[in-house]
Structure 1
């Protein structure tokens, strides 16, 4: 049985920065998965990197399923978009919430039915 997401799972700014840095260091996109028999005939499966005059080296994987290859290729486009979405959503968090991960709603916020991250016992004041 898997446990649900809680505030201990929230990513730190440092973790997000590390993910962003790995994306920036990777070969430029877009990455497109080509599966032999599905997307082309003859040759092997590969991931095409870049396009036009910014085309990079093809990536060939060993031991990957077609689904693995599709996932890896899509990650090049998906991860930067996810990072941008996290950044956009965090801008909408109340300032005290985005800093402490543990907040209690004001009366007005509670009336407006805002959702808040649960407090861990170690975060609560004694």
Structure 2
């Protein structure tokens, strides 16, 4: 199991900068299909319709990333966790900013508690 060191303030700032620079959210998983992508699992700025649209019936400008493109096979992770990876990526768009805000809030509380302890 990997162990992680707490992020420094500089690392948190860098993570926040990356999150702010990314395409605005929320992001969603889309299940699309076409003769080139074949069963495309994508991360999109709009929700999935459940119709597995084929291009050109979906707007490629709505796609942020893909976790499965089978024809030709150029996005196809060996462990076959396409849907799980897509869910992780899509959720990261809203989860990372929330986690960063919570870390900052907790650090602020700890700093205030430390000042109170010093004053007592």
- Computed over aligned residues only, the root mean square deviation of the Cα atoms, in angstroms, reads 3.3
Runs of 4+ in 1 over 6 A off after TM superposition: none
More strand by share: 2
Match of 1:60 among 61, 66, 69: 66
How do residues 66-85 of structure 1 correspond to structure 2 at under 5 angstroms?
66-85=83-102
Unaligned runs of 5+ in 2: 33-37, 48-60, 68-74
Q: Distance in 1 between matches of 2:45 and 2:28?
A: 7
TM-score (norm 2): 0.58
| Counterpart secondary structure, 1:33 | strand
How do residues 66-105 of structure 1 correspond to structure 2 at under 5 angstroms?
66-94=83-111
Structure with bigger gyration radius: 1
TM-score (norm 1): 0.56
The number of aligned residues is 89
1:21 equivalent in structure 2: 17
Unaligned runs of 5+ in 1: 37-41, 99-104, 109-126
